[in-house]
Amino acid sequence: MHWVWLVPIAAIATAIWVALQAYNDQGPVIQIVFDDSAGILPNETELRFRNVPVGLVEEVRFNTDLSQVIVDVRLDNSVAPFVDETASFWIVRPEVTTSGVTGLETVLSGVYIEGTWDTTPSGLITTHTANDRAPLVTTYQNGTLIELRSTRAAGLSEGTPILFKGIEVGQLGATMISVNGQWVTAEAIIYEPHDRLVTTATRFWDTSGFSLSVGASGASLDFSSVASLISGGITFGTLISGGEPVREGLVYEVYPDEATARNSVFEGSDGARVRFTMIFNENVSGLTADADVEWRGVRIGKVANVSGIVDPERFGDARVRLMSTVEINTARFGLDTGLNRSEAIDFMAARVEEGLRARLATASILAGGLKIELITDPDAPAAALDLTGDPFPVFPVIAGDVTDVAVTAEGVFERVNALPIEEVIDSTIRFLDNATILVASQEIRDTPGEILGLLSDARGVIGSDEVQALPEDMRGVISDLQDASGDLRDLLSDLRDAQAVDRLLAAVDQIGNAAAQADTALLAIPDLTARISDFVDTASALPLEGLVGQATDFAREAQTLLASDQMRAVPGSVTQAFDELTAVLNALTEANTADLISTALIDTSDAATAVENAVAGVPQVVESLDRIATNVEDVRLDTLASEVEAVLNTARRLFGDASEADLPAALAGALKEAEAALAELRAGGLIASANATLSSASDAAQAIENAAADLPQLVTRLNATLTQAQTTLGGFQEGSAFSRETLGALREIERAAKALSDLARTIQRNPNSLLLGR
């Protein structure tokens, strides 16, 4: 044999080996049943597991009645034992959804069949039915399958992510309508290990779309992810403890939002529910049935019933109290859901021992609703759960934390509303307008300058040494005055001792006589009045206003004079004059003045008597007056007035021309002389003279005293006189012409008096005018 025979032998061996290998590698053929083949091609389409090709489609055919497509797939031997009853197959094709793009590679390569099965080989099953879509549970994404249901389809759509704190932890499978048509149900998977977050107490809610809430703290826009914004998202939360771990196939409801889900915790829980009665002393509106009962913000129950209660025996008065029955789910405290009612009540009683109390609280500031809050207040007065309460144990309460914002706010608004804002604004505007005009006037603009000048003048005066010395001098004067007032007091007490009143009475009596006589004289009065009226008419015609104006001018000049520097010397002189005066007063005090005054009063009384006598002659007087009036009427008052005016003009010229500088000096000199005179008086027989004077006064006073003694009688007589006068006047009433005339005359007199009063006031304001010796 030639060696070349090795070649065909090797070839045969290779062929045999390859054939054997191929035969060994060739896996079993399985049939997968599809509704449609969707691009599956024989010998091209692969079967993949975890994206690794593990088989190839060998044939695509129909079943006998053409209702389905059977795809024969040659499996790899390596995976064949795993393709058991857990296997599921689906076609992977390109898909673009809101949550992403999948199967993009199949756009170019064509579809493939994806298979998944568990990791335990339990024998090949050769016939399988394919799924329409990828199953939720695959070998590489394990989790717990649950079922979600909702009364509305929104939010439940296939592929919707299940988010937990923003992380995708699960997914929704195909949705379908429940048999009875009431629910939309969807299979959902929570991937490992997140499925342990789900318990029987978990609540699912829809987070699709976005939520816009506007509150006291501003507006907030919430949405979890763009995907959930478009296609919806579902999240969940385990709001209370005590749930059991999730089981495969558990059914959960999907709530529209978190609030509803939270609230549903109550309804959906199977914890023990116990009812309590709570009696609130506050009578606050807003607590209604179904209001929340909260514990640390967690809703643990609801108000079952609200009613009023009046029970004088129990509370000691007949006030109406707010009685509410609340239902508390103890499972919310994290208690075992298997607790029975009495255990739950025991638990609550223990909590009450620790200070758990109920109170009313505002649920919504704007809406004004109330809720009941359970709070632990260790300082609360000791109380216990009143288990004897009928029908439910009575839960102790404390004062509520209720703010009735609505009422307060309303009051504020009403007050604001009542403000006369428009009027105020109008007035303000008017005021401002006037103020603007005033301020803009030239006078006001000049004022500051004038004030400045005045101030500087005043500063000059005040700054002079004499003025500075004034306070000290004044102090001396005041102390002297005090002494003098003490003396005066003594004097008055002396007077009291004397019988001044009696004497006064006598004087009055005499006056009474005089009045009686005057009565007769009154008869002549109408005539007199008419004449006076004429006179007054004439007087009122006088150009008094001009006179007054001139007087004012004059006064103003005098004022200017006073502002001159020389006037500053005056206070010093005045001070000295005061000193002198003080000395005189002292001297007077030393003298026996009171006695003298007493005597003077007696003399006065005598004088009154004389007056009485004089009154007897009143008719004559009236006649004389009449005559005088007649004469006065003749007098050329016009001339007089113009003369007075001339005098005033002259006086003004005098002031204007005369060396104003000299005048204060002269004044000072005059004062000095007065001072000297006073000094002389003090030194000389002033006191004696004063005494003489006073004794004369005493005489006069004596006369007054006598007169005063007759005062009661005088009053009686006055009465009589008045009666008579009344009678007389009654007669005059008929002659209303007289009254009118009288009234007119009086009016004229009043006017004249007013003019004179103005003049007097001017002079009073500018007394220096008197210094002219006018």
Comparing CB distances to another protein, the nearer of 26 and 719 is 26
- Residue 296 touches another protein, criterion: CB under 8 A: no
Comparing CB distances to another protein, the nearer of 39 and 121 is 39
Query: How far, in Å, CA of 603 to CA of 610, rounded?
Result: 10
**Stretch of 8-16, 153-161, 435-443, 529-537 contacting another protein, by CB under 8 A:** 8-16
Handedness of CA 366, 369, 374, 377 (dihedral sign): positive
Comparing CB distances to another protein, the nearer of 10 and 259 is 10
In 3-state terms, what secondary structure has residue 115? strand
The two structure tokens encoding residue 209: 């779309």
Please, are residues 110 and 102 in contact by the beta-carbon 8 Å criterion? no
The closest of 334, 263, 272 to 293, measured between CA atoms, is 263
Among 1, 179, 382, 419, contact with another protein (rule: CB under 8 A): 1
Query: How far, in Å, CA of 254 to CA of 234, rounded?
Result: 8
The closest of 250, 31, 223, 22 to 129, measured between CA atoms, is 31
Shortest reach from residue 40's CB to another protein, in Å: 13
**Stretch of 11-19, 256-264, 291-299, 615-623 contacting another protein, by CB under 8 A:** 11-19
Give me the residues paired with residue 205 across strands. 235, 255
Comparing CB distances to another protein, the nearer of 44 and 565 is 44
Q: At what angle do helices 686-707 and 593-616 cross, to 10 degrees?
A: 50
The closest of 218, 274, 269, 266 to 243, measured between CA atoms, is 269
Query: How far, in Å, CA of 337 to CA of 319, rounded?
Result: 40
Comparing CB distances to another protein, the nearer of 15 and 523 is 15
Q: How many residues bind another protein (CB under 8 A)?
A: 15
Comparing CB distances to another protein, the nearer of 42 and 243 is 42
Comparing CB distances to another protein, the nearer of 18 and 661 is 18
**Stretch of 10-18, 74-82, 182-190, 573-581 contacting another protein, by CB under 8 A:** 10-18
DSSP alpha helices (H): ranges in 498-562? Answer: 500-522, 525-541, 544-562
Shortest reach from residue 17's CB to another protein, in Å: 12
Question: What are the residues whose beta carbons fall under 8 Å from the beta carbon of 250, sequence distance 6 or more?
Answer: 146, 147, 200
CA distances from 634 to 531, 534, 637 (A): 11, 11, 8
- Residues 253-292 vs another protein: string with x where CB under 8 A? ----------------------------------------
- Phi/psi zone of residue 218: left (φ > 0), alpha (ψ -120 to 50 degrees), beta? left
Query: How far, in Å, CA of 661 to CA of 566, rounded?
Result: 6
Shortest reach from residue 15's CB to another protein, in Å: 6
DSSP alpha helices (H): ranges in 377-499? Answer: 405-418, 421-440, 442-463, 465-497
Comparing CB distances to another protein, the nearer of 10 and 646 is 10
Shortest reach from residue 59's CB to another protein, in Å: 17
Backbone angles phi, psi at 52, to 5 degrees: -105, 130
Comparing CB distances to another protein, the nearer of 107 and 424 is 107
Comparing CB distances to another protein, the nearer of 106 and 263 is 106
The two structure tokens encoding residue 760: 């007097």
Comparing CB distances to another protein, the nearer of 44 and 58 is 44
Question: What are the residues whose beta carbons fall under 8 Å from the beta carbon of 748, sequence distance 6 or more?
Answer: 533, 536, 537, 539, 540
Comparing CB distances to another protein, the nearer of 47 and 600 is 47
Query: How far, in Å, CA of 389 to CA of 653, rounded?
Result: 110
Comparing CB distances to another protein, the nearer of 56 and 136 is 56
- Residue 12 touches another protein, criterion: CB under 8 A: yes
Shortest reach from residue 8's CB to another protein, in Å: 4
Please, are residues 223 and 211 in contact by the beta-carbon 8 Å criterion? yes
Comparing CB distances to another protein, the nearer of 4 and 683 is 4
- 22-81: which residues touch another protein (CB under 8 A)? 41, 44
CA distances from 535 to 292, 330, 530, 646, 705 (A): 99, 112, 9, 23, 37
**Stretch of 9-17, 25-33, 479-487, 649-657 contacting another protein, by CB under 8 A:** 9-17
- Residue 2 touches another protein, criterion: CB under 8 A: yes
**Stretch of 12-20, 69-77, 88-96, 271-279 contacting another protein, by CB under 8 A:** 12-20
Give me the residues paired with residue 162 across strands. 170, 234
Shortest reach from residue 18's CB to another protein, in Å: 8
Comparing CB distances to another protein, the nearer of 10 and 451 is 10
Backbone angles phi, psi at 690, to 5 degrees: -60, -40
Shortest reach from residue 115's CB to another protein, in Å: 21
Residue 54 belongs to what H/E stretch? strand 52-62
Shortest reach from residue 195's CB to another protein, in Å: 41
Tell whether omega for the bond before 381 is within 30 degrees of 0, i.e. cis: no
Shortest reach from residue 100's CB to another protein, in Å: 23
Q: Which residue has the tokens 């303000």?
A: 428
Comparing CB distances to another protein, the nearer of 15 and 367 is 15
Half-sphere exposure of 732 (CA within 13 A, CB side): 18
Among 15, 454, 647, 670, contact with another protein (rule: CB under 8 A): 15
Comparing CB distances to another protein, the nearer of 103 and 744 is 103
Comparing CB distances to another protein, the nearer of 11 and 387 is 11
Shortest reach from residue 36's CB to another protein, in Å: 20
**Stretch of 2-10, 126-134, 263-271, 414-422 contacting another protein, by CB under 8 A:** 2-10
Shortest reach from residue 92's CB to another protein, in Å: 16
Half-sphere exposure of 478 (CA within 13 A, CB side): 6
- 575-594: which residues touch another protein (CB under 8 A)? none
**Stretch of 4-12, 170-178, 249-257, 538-546 contacting another protein, by CB under 8 A:** 4-12
Among 5, 64, 214, 448, contact with another protein (rule: CB under 8 A): 5
**Stretch of 5-13, 341-349, 617-625, 697-705 contacting another protein, by CB under 8 A:** 5-13
Query: How far, in Å, CA of 758 to CA of 548, rounded?
Result: 8
Shortest reach from residue 53's CB to another protein, in Å: 13
Shortest reach from residue 74's CB to another protein, in Å: 15
Shortest reach from residue 32's CB to another protein, in Å: 21
In 3-state terms, what secondary structure has residue 137? coil
- 85-114: which residues touch another protein (CB under 8 A)? 108, 110
**Stretch of 3-11, 206-214, 292-300, 508-516 contacting another protein, by CB under 8 A:** 3-11
The CA radius of gyration of the chain, in Å to the nearest whole number, is 62
Handedness of CA 527, 532, 533, 534 (dihedral sign): positive
**Stretch of 6-14, 140-148, 577-585, 609-617 contacting another protein, by CB under 8 A:** 6-14
The closest of 332, 155, 296 to 235, measured between CA atoms, is 155
Query: How far, in Å, CA of 292 to CA of 281, rounded?
Result: 19
Shortest reach from residue 101's CB to another protein, in Å: 19
Among 7, 66, 382, 440, contact with another protein (rule: CB under 8 A): 7
Residue 19 belongs to what H/E stretch? helix 6-25
DSSP label at residue 241:
S
Site of interaction with another protein (CB under 8 A):
1-2, 4-5, 7-8, 10-12, 15, 18, 41, 44, 108, 110
